[in-house]
């Protein structure tokens, strides 16, 4: 599949210094906590995302998965603990600064602008990693224009690779649901993330779309992108994840390979206590 053939590497900051030792762990949480009143939505979470790998974060409903993503991308402020991105402490930074640092997310219930075209939706919000200053933007200076042209080209290439280029000028709401989710993925990738946080990307997809999603994720990993996959569809998780972290009632109860996760009685119990593991 030539999904990313023309646009070059998807992840990774273009300005990473050559010769610099790359850390194996790109994203780490240390004792991360989030309380909502008396409820511990996330409790003392130590989690490590290896560079260029897919880490799945799973658990029954209400286990704290979405809250963890919200903490990582700055939508929610932790009650305690630290978040380290490439060794730097980024705890409680606002979302726009985390996006600039390379942390980009998708949403459980896609957040597209219904009155905008596919292209506009894919392009919007992706100026966060631009180097141009406010002054450059106001003056519409050369640096801003160059970055704007590059972003448009990147969005166009990504739409092409997802087979969405012919739909670029259509209203996004005219597209079927599966394609709308792809637009969301293009928007996230256009931001050149180092870490992509995926909140239930398979929700609402049919089996063919889920198969394609698995192929996209494997392709992205092949390009070196680091991903956190929050997902209920165990078929997808077991197919693509390199490492699995399991939450229950906000706490990590298990982590390991997909094989070990499937065999774990602790994990089975956590799911059976609720509604059982949902297989794709
Ligand atoms: N803003 C909030 N205020 C109060 N409680 C919250 C808030 N957000 C989440 N919670 C609670 O925190 C707990 C964890 O919720 P979270 O959405 O993170 O779980 P989840 O694992 O993503 O669940 P699901 O799989 O159903 O999406 C739940 O008990 C939830 O009701």
Residue 61 beta carbon below 6 angstroms from any ligand 1 atom: yes
**Is the distance from the beta carbon of residue 177 to the nearest atom of ligand 1 less than 6 Å?**
no
SS3 label, residue 102: coil
What span, in angstroms and rounded, lies between the C-alpha atoms of 141 and 122?
23
Where in the chain are all domains bearing CATH 3.40.50.300?
Answer: 22-102+195-280
148 Cα–ligand 1 center, Å: 37
Give pTM, 2 decimals. 0.85
**Cα 115 to ligand 1 centre (Å):** 30
Alpha-carbon distance 29 to 81, whole Å?
A: 7
Nearest CA, atom 10, ligand 1: 41
Whose Cα sits closest to atom 11 in ligand 1? Answer: 41
Collapsing DSSP to helix, strand or coil, 273 comes out as coil
Of ligand 1's listed atoms, the one at least distance from the Cα of 76 is: 1
CATH architecture of 22-102+195-280: 3-Layer(aba) Sandwich (3.40)
For residue 66 and ligand 1, the question of a CB distance below 6 A is answered with yes
Give the tens place of pLDDT for each residue, 79-115: 999 999 999 999 999 998 999 899 999 987 767 888 8
Q: Quick: pLDDT tens for 206-245.
A: 999 999 999 999 999 999 999 999 999 999 999 999 999 9
CA atoms within 13 A on the CB side of 236: 31
């Amino acid at each position: 599949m030539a999904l990313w053939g023309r646009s070059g590497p998807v992840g990774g900051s273009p300005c990473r210094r050559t010769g610099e030792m790359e850390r194996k762990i790109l994203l780490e949480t240390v004792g991360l906590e989030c309380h909502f009143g008396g409820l511990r939505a996330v409790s003392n979470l130590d989690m490590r995302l290896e560079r260029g790998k897919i880490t799945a974060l799973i658990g029954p409903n209400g286990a704290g998965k979405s809250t963890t993503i919200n903490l990582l991308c700055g939508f929610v402020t932790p009650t305690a603990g630290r978040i380290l991105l490439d060794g730097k402490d980024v705890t409680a930074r606002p979302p726009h600064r985390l996006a600039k640092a390379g942390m980009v997310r998708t949403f459980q219930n896609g957040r597209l602008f219904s009155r905008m075209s596919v292209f506009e939706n894919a392009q919007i919000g992706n100026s966060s990693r631009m180097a141009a200053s406010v002054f450059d933007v106001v003056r519409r200076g050369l640096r801003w224009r160059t970055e704007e042209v590059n972003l448009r080209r990147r969005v166009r290439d990504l739409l092409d690779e997802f087979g969405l280029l012919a739909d670029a000028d259509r209203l996004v709401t005219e597209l079927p649901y599966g394609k709308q989710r792809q637009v969301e993925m293009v928007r996230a990738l256009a931001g050149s993330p180092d870490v992509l946080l995926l909140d239930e990307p398979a929700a609402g997809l049919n089996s063919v779309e889920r198969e394609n999603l698995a192929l996209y994720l494997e392709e992205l990993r092949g390009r070196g992108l680091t991903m956190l996959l929050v997902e209920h569809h165990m078929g997808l998780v077991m197919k693509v994840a390199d490492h699995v972290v399991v939450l229950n009632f906000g706490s990590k109860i298990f982590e390991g390979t997909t094989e070990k996760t499937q065999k774990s009685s602790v994990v089975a119990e956590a799911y059976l206590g609720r509604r059982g593991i949902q297989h794709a």
